[in-house]
Amino acid sequence: MAARHDQTTDPQLLDALLQARRGTAFFARKLNELTDGGLDGPSLLPGWTRRHVVAHIGYNARAVARLVEWAATGVVTPMYPSTEVRDREISFGATLSPVALRNLFDHSAVHLNVEWRDLPEDAWHSKVRTIQGRLVAAEETVWMRTREVWVHAVDLDNGASFTDIPEPVLSRLLKDITGAWKSRGSDAGLLIEVSGQDTGHVIDDAGAEAPVVISGPLAGVVRWTTGRGAAGVTATQNGAVLAKVPAAPKWI
């Protein structure tokens, strides 16, 4: 039987699909390194065990696949009926046996990959609506999933770090997060400087007189922006190093 390939020929979309698939493989590796008993351990997310993280990633793949099916068929198929339903689903998934939980991840990832692979070229531009209410082209589903698998692989707290995340993914995460801050007006008085780059990423363009400057390598800065700690970054104001790096504004 001949191998089946992605129907899209867009080089940028194919590259994005590759990043999503690599992220899925990376999450799978960190999950497979955990013993069944290890699934009961805490994740990096407050109130969530590793079980919750795995359940979330599994059900997220199903939810994203529903959006791809919407784009393919034109039949409105929301990610979830509501955020409450999504939360209950994750809580239930966290109670599954280790075998069932691992199967949830494996099967849902394969399902989503098949939906992407078989989506016709023109359907990638079809509009679908995210759970946040945003109307986006179906190609956005690739980034939605990419962000989930890479960041939550770190949240498994099984040896992965933000330095494992590819630079293009980190850069887009930084852009997305700071963009969300700006849209909500929660970025006032902040300036981000990424070491190794010619210019800092300016969050507050209103010209604060004494901005708090968050600086560090890209991986460390993105880790801070996602609310996952300040290791590797520093905060200064008026040239003085602050004793404590302030918490980042809320991301999602």
- What confidence tens digit (pLDDT) does each residue in 191-244 have? 888 987 654 555 554 566 788 889 999 999 999 999 999 988 999 888 898 989
Report the C-alpha gap between 219 and 151 in whole angstroms.
11
Q: How far is CA 109 from CA 86, 120, 152, in A?
A: 18, 19, 14
According to the model, what pLDDT value does residue 238 have?
86
Q: Per mean pLDDT, which range of 4-8, 188-192, 204-208 is the poorest? A: 204-208
- Is 131 within 8 Å of 87 (Cβ atoms)? no
Report the C-alpha gap between 100 and 164 in whole angstroms.
28
From 251, 217, 211, select the one nearest 234 (Cα to Cα).
Answer: 217
Q: Each residue of 96-124: pLDDT tens digit?
A: 999 999 999 999 999 999 999 999 999 99
Report the C-alpha gap between 248 and 231 in whole angstroms.
13
Within 13 A of 251's CA, how many CA atoms are on the CB side?
A: 15
pTM listed for this prediction: 0.92
Q: Provide mean pLDDT across the span 7-20.
A: 96
According to the model, what pLDDT value does residue 206 have?
54
Q: Each residue of 26-82: pLDDT tens digit?
A: 999 999 999 999 999 999 999 999 999 999 999 999 999 999 999 999 999 999 999
Q: Residue 213's beta-bridge partner residues? A: 191, 236
Write the secondary structure of the chain as one string of H (helix), E (strand) and C (coil).
Answer: CCCCCCCCCCHHHHHHHHHHHHHHHHHHHHHHCCCCHHHHCECCCCCCEHHHHHHHHHHHHHHHHHHHHHHHHCCCCCCCCCHHHHHHHHHHHCCCCHHHHHHHHHHHHHHHHHHHHHCCHHHHHCEEECCCCCEEECCHHHHHHHHHHHHHHHHCCCCCCHHHCCHHHHHHHHHHHHHHHHHHCCCCCEEEEECCCCCCECCCCCCCCCCEEEEECHHHHHHHHCCCCCCCCEEEECCEECCCCCCCCCCC
Query: What is the Cα 78 distance to its own chain's centre?
Result: 19
Token reading at 232: 């590797």
